[in-house]
Each structure stands twice: as C-alpha cells, then as structure tokens.
Structure 1
Amino acid sequence: MLIANYKLHILIKKNEIIMKLLLFLFITFKLFATTQNLYILDAKSLTPLSGAIISDQNCRVKSDKNGMAKISTSSKNLFIKAYGYKQKTISSTDSKTVFLEPFTSKALYVSFWAAGSSKYMNRILKLARDTEINTVIVDVKNEFGNLSYKSKVRLAQKIGAHKQRTIFNIDKFVKNLKDQGLYVVARIVVFKDDRLARTHDQYALKDANATVWRNREKLAWVDPYDSRVHDYVADIAADAASRGFDEINFDYVRFPLKKGLVYLKPHNKRNRVAAISKFLQTANKKLRPYNVYTSVDTYGYVCWNKGDTNIGHTIKSLAKHTDYISPMLYPSGFGVGILGFRNPTDHNYEIINESIKAGLKRADIEPSRFKPWLQSFKDYGFDRKFFRSKEVSQQIKGAEHASCSGWLLWNPSSRFSSKGLQDVRLPYPILPAYKEVKNLSYCFRKETKD
C-alpha cells in the first residue's frame, strides 16, 4: 500500500511539472509572439491569392479571397505556399506584401543509379537547358530500401541503408541542381522496403505461415500499420528536406495488392485509409520545420474508383494530408474498355485529361492539386509501341488542358530524349488547320528534332 501511494505521489508530481512547463511555454509564446498581417499576391498578374498557406513550426493559416492572412508567431521565419506556385520563406520582419511565382513542374525522373552517373546526369541537365524541363525527381530511398546518400537517421545507418549509395555529397548534389534553376524533388519509397524487412523481421509483412512475404520481384514489404515504420520513413523525409529538396514525393505509400497477408490490424477499407493518413500526418509533423511541398503517388484507377482500390487510397483522403497527388496515368496501365477504348495507348490525351476530371469528382479540390505521372517508355500492354514525340506530347497536353500544376515523365531507367518536349531555343510553329486541332493530331508544342 505504501509503495502504491509513493508511485501515485510521483505520478502527481510529474503531472504538475508537465503542466508548469506547458504553462511556461504558453506564457513565453504569448510574450514573444507577434501578429503578422500578410497580403499574398501572384507575382505575374498581381492578383490576390486565395487559399495560400502561411505557417511556422507551430501553426498554419490560409489567406482569404482577398489574399489577406493573419498569423501570430514567435518564429523568425514564415513559410508561404500555394498550389501551383513556388514556395517562399520570409523573415517575420520582412515586408508584409508577399509575391509568389507561378510554377508548373515539368519533371524527369532520376533513378537511384542515374543519380550517381555523370553520363546520365549530364544528359538530363542538357535536356533541362534545352527544353521546358524545370524539375528533377531524384530517388532518395528506393524499392530495395537503399538510400542514395548517407542519411543522419540512426536506424538507416544501423541497417546499412547507405552502403550502396550513389551520391557521396548530397548537399553539393542538390545545390548544383538548384544553381541550374531546377526544382528538386526527393522520391521516397515508403512501405516497399526489402532492407528494413530483412534486418527487422518484426516489421515485415508475413503470410499465413508466418513467413516473410515477397512479391514477384522477390522484395519484401513492411507493415503499413506499423507506427515504427512510419517514424523511420518520416525521419528520412525530414533529413532529405534539411538537405534542400523543394518537395518530398512519397511512392509505394500504400498496401500491396496481395490477399492472405497478416497485418497488425483487421484489414479493411476503414483501417487501410486510416493507416495511410496516419503515416502522412506523421511525416507532415516531422517536415514542419522545413518549407517543402509533399506529394503522393497513386494508381491511375484511384481517380476513377469509389472505394480505396484495396490499397488505402482515395482522392479525398489523400488530399487531406498532402499538397499534390500524382496518379500514375500511364496509358499502358489501363485496361481494355476504359472510356470505351480498345487500346488506351491510341488515346493518350483522353486518358490523361479524363482521368484528372474523374479524380476531381472524388473530392472537392482544385485541379492544381494534381501533378500526374506520364508514360515515357515502351508500351507493355497492347501493341508494344514506343512512346515518342506524338505520344508524350499528347499526354502533356492532356495534363495541361486539365489545369494540373505540372507533370512528371517516368522512365524506370531515366533514359529520356527530347521527343515530345518543347525546345526553349526554337520559336513556336505555325498553328495547324482547325480540323487537325479538333482531331488532336497536333498538340501546339515546339519540339526538338531529336
């Protein structure tokens, strides 16, 4: 009884200390906080920006329809973001009128191995100089669980995630890209993590026989319900943000499409959606000190499906916890019958454009929240055609006509050409006849002769 009373006394004392600390922090914030009145404008049109996000490490507010916002802060800096614009960091003592630059991402994917190859990087940088490309999305954590550079995250170092790294000076690498005017995105694969599953069996997804499950590529996954996994990946994302990346892109932030696996929780739609949302909330919390956008990759069919596609994704749930949604709208990935087409790869414009429109019906969001992945590789589902100038250009126009905030070209080996891309060194071509425009056989894009 005496021991129980003593433990109760200690618990009460601890609670008193915590309450005093919280009161001290609250009073300190009130003493040093200042109220900032901000006016957010489009840098080109000078029109007020509604819905711009102003934040510090403690809170966030949005601008009203007149571009006005009020925030109480004790932070030295404020972060200003708006969908379809480059983010901006201002001092709390700066001018209270803020101009945001409109920005449409036009991206090339830089694979884990391409990032460490001067040959591939020189080719990508040349395309960025000569064409409309202004963004690169770089593998930071790939499907094997390997990191492209040595992170400061202790668990990553413990499991040797950096041992096959291809970038040996990440700060210099990112700076070089930004010095060339590029917007730099970190791609982080989340739950498909063979290395973490191998080194920490307790995190791995298992089958009914308690054996670690591996997919067709012989790679293991970790359990999306496991909060320890959430913390690990969120720490990696925060480390990447601290190195200067402008955006954190989460891929494979979903459940695998495999039946019969054993999870930490009952496997149903409600729990799946909640698990993905919880991870994104964890990541957002750890990214709060950095002025970065976030984006999530998802299946193209998520734009069309009413449910969660059995992976924990709905457009509505994702939109609550990420800035941008990047559906993989590869025409080769759609089945016969989509929009009534027998061969979706013959209708690239329509596949992209109508998929975005379908996605907008799933949630009350603006089209500027979408930055779709587009196909820049050989068809694998129909007539095996190569995606060259016509096919790439049609997809891009489909995204542009849907008013997306950009597009991302995917080639798994990062082997890109200038075909389908506008050459910034050439004038626009003469407009075609109306009939050609109507039939979408021409996409108003100035292209290189590559």
Structure 2
Amino acid sequence: MQNRRILRILFASFIITSGIIIINISSGIPGADKENDYISPSPDIEKLDISLKDSEDNNVKNEDETKEDGESENDNLKKERVKVKAVYITGASAGNDAFLDKIINFTKNTELNAVVLDVKEDGKVNYKSDLKSVRDINAYTELYDVDKVIKKLKDNGVYVIGRVVCFRDDHLAMKRADLAVKKTDGSIWKENNAIAWTNPYNQEVWDYNIEIAKEAVDKGFDEIQFDYVRFPAVSSKQVYYGENLPEKADAICGFLKKAAEELNKKGVLVSADIFAIVCETPGDTEGIGQVLERVGMDIDYISPMIYPSHYANSSRGMMGNGVGQSINGVVFTAPDLKPYEVVYNVLEKTKDRISKVENYKADVRPYIQGFTASYLPKGYYQVYGPEQIKQQIKAVYDAGFEEWIVWDAGNNYVEEAFTR
C-alpha cells in the first residue's frame, strides 16, 4: 500500500531564474495538501461569475454560425492549421539579431517552423506596451522591438506563438495587493518566500491578462499560449482565495473559456500549458485547478510539459523517492535516461483519456525537454543533445501526434536536433 501511494505521484516543480534552481519535492504537487483544505473569508475579493455551459452547446462552433454580413466570425480559424514544430525563445533572445537569424536559418534547413516567444514573463510585458493597465504599474520592459521582430519572423514564414505567463505575476501582485494570493493572516503569500501570485479567482486578473494577449495579437502574433494558468502549488492551509468559491478547475476553465471567446474572435488560436503529471493523475489531484478532461474543452491546444527530468527517480537524492515514477502503468526508475519512453507513455495515456471525452476541443501539442538536468544525482541524468531531442520528437510522432515545442530556458539550440 505504501509503495502504491509513493508510485501514484511524486512530482517536482522548479523555478529557474538567474541561474538559480529552486526545487520542492512532495507527494503530488509541491506543498499541496489535499486533506483538511482550508479557505478563510476574503472581504476584498471580487465576486466570481463563472458560467460553464455544456460543451456541446458552447465549445464547438457550428459551421453555419455566421455574422450578419454572412462572413464567418472565426473565418481565419478555418484556415488550415500550421503543424507547429517550435522552440521557445525569451524576450532577451528575440532582441538579439544574431540569435534570431540563427533560428530563422534553422527553419529553412530543418522541420522547425515556429517559435514560442515571451509576451509576458516575470510579471512584465517584454516589449513597450500601449495598455494603460500595464503602463500605470510600469509592467513592461523593452527587451525587443515587437514590430521589428514579428515582421522579420513572419517575412521568413515563421509561425509566432505569444507566451503569456498568467497568474504567477509577482509584479501585479505586489502593486495590487487586493489581487494577490493571501496567507490566512491576510498578508501576501509568496512562493518560496520570493514570488507573489495573483488570485486566479479574480476576474480583474483575468481581464488584465486577456487584454495583454489581445494587444499581442494586434501586434501580429499568430497564436496566444497561456502559461502558469493554474493555482500555485501550496497547501490550502497556508492560503485563502475567498469565501464560497467554486472549484479551482471551474476558475481555470472559466478563464480559458473567456480568453478563447475573445481571442478566437480576433482570428487566432489559443493554447495552454499544463503540468504533464495532470495527464497521469485523475481529477484535480494536484490541487492546481488543471483537470485533463476539462482544461481543453474551450481552447485549441493543450501543451503538457513532458520533461523526463521532472519525474521521480529511484535515488535518495534530488527528485528521488527510492522507487521511481509510474507513467501509464510503466515504472521508470531513472526517467531522464528514457526520453522516448517517457514522452511516448505520457502521450498514450493522454490520448486514451481525452478520447473518452465528448466534444473535447483541444489538440495536443507537447513541450519536450531541450535542457540537461545536471541537478539530478549522478547516474540519473544525461546530457540532452540532438539525439535525446530527436528521440522525444519520434515519440510524439509514434504516439500519433504531429506537433511539438522544445523547451530550454537558456535557448541553447543546435540545428542538428531538428533535422530528420
């Protein structure tokens, strides 16, 4: 029974900032305590109004649904979708002409055809924003010239996805304490005593992020991808969100539904990043509001972040539980050494689960690992070079999917990884 409980879930969330890696390990999501959940009343929280109707009525557009002028409301969305093969790039990298030229050359010589580019990260829009809500709190930094970068990428046929980090927003939370996740004593809660979060139940927070996304679309981004579209991984005994609130998954799905409705009208697709462990565990086991069967009902893509290094290994060191991690019924004692097998099994289970959900809208476009997890114990990690990336890409294809994104926070990409 004990082994079963250990095998059920052991996952780590980690933050990489300025070269510092902070890792928390626990059963399930770090700090998540599913027993004796506690929510204290919050007098200043905005009343939440979430109406999630049947997906059959609201999540799938009727082909005959048109505007008054006879033109389809989502005409642009009916165009053939790009089969995205992308890398993630930071705002700082986008501002480097030589780096951008290198990525563009990759797209000419390999199957790479897209990038995921930071729109908002670390609480700051990465380019000069014209939004009053952003400018009033100085929530932007000019890491790249958005008009110049978008034009250069699109002139070279590169599909550009804008990444918007949502609720993990220290800048907004500290400027607007009324929008922040609070401790039970009413003070601002901070992840690892360092980073404040905004409250995912608060619709003013929703609107703030949606407006940033809409501005990005106006500046030429082809698609919007929401990241950190979840609740923080913390025990409910430590924080409170308000009184008489719906389930966390209702808030996350409500936000995505509203965002998709507004952004689809502008002719762009909407995607969301999710913890890969959500594809393994039932319901909202992790306590973050991400439920596989629900999170993709109203958006166009989900991107489970399938990084083999993030799963438990059998060591007694970093990420270790002495047993390993069960994925799709297969136990991995050193998952980082099995990139193909981990990615394949996660996607097989994901495919099986969502196939049972009627009118599930989202396609699956996974993130895969492009970095070396040298913080793991010796013998439990390997250098992730072109071969390891190719193995993961092959797993995506073998599992029946066509799209992928490679994540490396350092943006250290080499052309060989993307040649077939």
Q: Partner of 1:70 in structure 2?
A: 64
Q: Partner of 1:167 in structure 2?
A: 144
Residue 261, structure 1, aligned to residue 239, structure 2: yes
Q: Within 5 A, what are the aligned runs for 1:29-40?
A: none
CA deviation string 1:58-105 (max 9, x = no partner): 99734xxxxxx4334224753667xxxxx557xxxxxxxxxx546321
Change (3 A) 1:103 1:59: closer
Change (3 A) 1:225 1:265: farther
Q: Which of 245, 250, 255 lines up with 2:221 in the alignment?
A: 245
- Structure 1, unmatched stretches of 5+, are 1-57, 63-68, 82-86, 90-99, 423-445
CA deviation string 1:345-387 (max 9, x = no partner): 2221121111112112332368981000000000243534210
CA deviation string 1:102-155 (max 9, x = no partner): 63211010112212122322222222222211000000000x210012223221
Change (3 A) 1:266 1:127: farther
- Structure 2, unmatched stretches of 5+, are 1-57, 313-323
**What is the TM-score of this pair, normalised by structure 2?**
0.76
Q: Which of 264, 269, 275 lines up with 2:251 in the alignment?
A: 275
Q: Partner of 1:125 in structure 2?
A: 104
Q: Partner of 1:114 in structure 2?
A: 93
Paired with 1:284 and 1:265, the residues of 2 have a C-alpha distance of 27
Q: Relative contact order: is structure 1 or structure 2 higher (C-alpha 8 Å, sep ≥ 6)?
A: 2
3-state DSSP of counterpart to 1:340: strand
Change (3 A) 1:411 1:277: same
Paired with 1:102 and 1:278, the residues of 2 have a C-alpha distance of 25
CA deviation string 1:200-243 (max 9, x = no partner): 01111121232212223711100111111011101111111122
Q: Partner of 2:349 in structure 1?
A: 358
1:265 Cα offset (Å):
4.0
3-state DSSP of counterpart to 1:361: helix
CA RMSD of aligned residues (A): 2.3
Q: Partner of 1:378 in structure 2?
A: 372
Residue 417, structure 1, aligned to residue 414, structure 2: yes
**How many corresponding residue pairs?**
340
Kindly provide the amino acid, as one letter, of the partner of residue 175 in structure 1. K
Q: Partner of 2:331 in structure 1?
A: 340
Q: Is the 8 A contact 1:367 1:404 kept in 2?
A: no
Q: Partner of 2:128 in structure 1?
A: 150
Residue 61, structure 1, aligned to residue 56, structure 2: no
Q: Is the 8 A contact 1:333 1:381 kept in 2?
A: no
Q: Within 5 A, what are the aligned runs for 1:416-435?
A: 416-422=413-419
**What is the TM-score of this pair, normalised by structure 1?**
0.71
Paired with 1:359 and 1:60, the residues of 2 have a C-alpha distance of 21
Q: Percent identity?
A: 30
Q: Is the 8 A contact 1:392 1:419 kept in 2?
A: no
3-state DSSP of counterpart to 2:250: helix
Q: Which of 271, 286, 291 lines up with 1:314 in the alignment?
A: 291
Kindly provide the amino acid, as one letter, of the partner of residue 201 in structure 1. A
Paired with 2:59 and 2:229, the residues of 1 have a C-alpha distance of 26
3-state DSSP of counterpart to 1:386: coil
CA deviation string 1:296-342 (max 9, x = no partner): 10111111110212110111111112110100000001112332121
3-state DSSP of counterpart to 2:117: strand
Q: Which of 265, 268, 276 lines up with 1:289 in the alignment?
A: 265
1:271 Cα offset (Å):
1.2
3-state DSSP of counterpart to 1:167: coil
Residue 179, structure 1, aligned to residue 167, structure 2: no
Q: Which of 157, 170, 173 lines up with 1:197 in the alignment?
A: 173
Paired with 1:102 and 1:223, the residues of 2 have a C-alpha distance of 33
| Larger of the two Rg values belongs to structure | 1
Paired with 2:197 and 2:289, the residues of 1 have a C-alpha distance of 15
Kindly provide the amino acid, as one letter, of the partner of residue 104 in structure 1. K
Change (3 A) 1:244 1:265: farther
Paired with 1:206 and 1:354, the residues of 2 have a C-alpha distance of 38
Paired with 1:258 and 1:132, the residues of 2 have a C-alpha distance of 40
Q: Partner of 1:213 in structure 2?
A: 189
Question: Please, which moves more after superposition, 327-336 or 351-360?
Answer: 351-360
Kindly provide the amino acid, as one letter, of the partner of residue 259 in structure 2. A
Q: Is the 8 A contact 2:65 2:72 kept in 1?
A: no
1:405 Cα offset (Å):
3.7
Q: Partner of 1:21 in structure 2?
A: none
Paired with 1:291 and 1:181, the residues of 2 have a C-alpha distance of 18
Question: Please, which moves more after superposition, 326-335 or 147-156?
Answer: 147-156
Paired with 1:297 and 1:59, the residues of 2 have a C-alpha distance of 19
Q: Is the 8 A contact 2:325 2:331 kept in 1?
A: yes
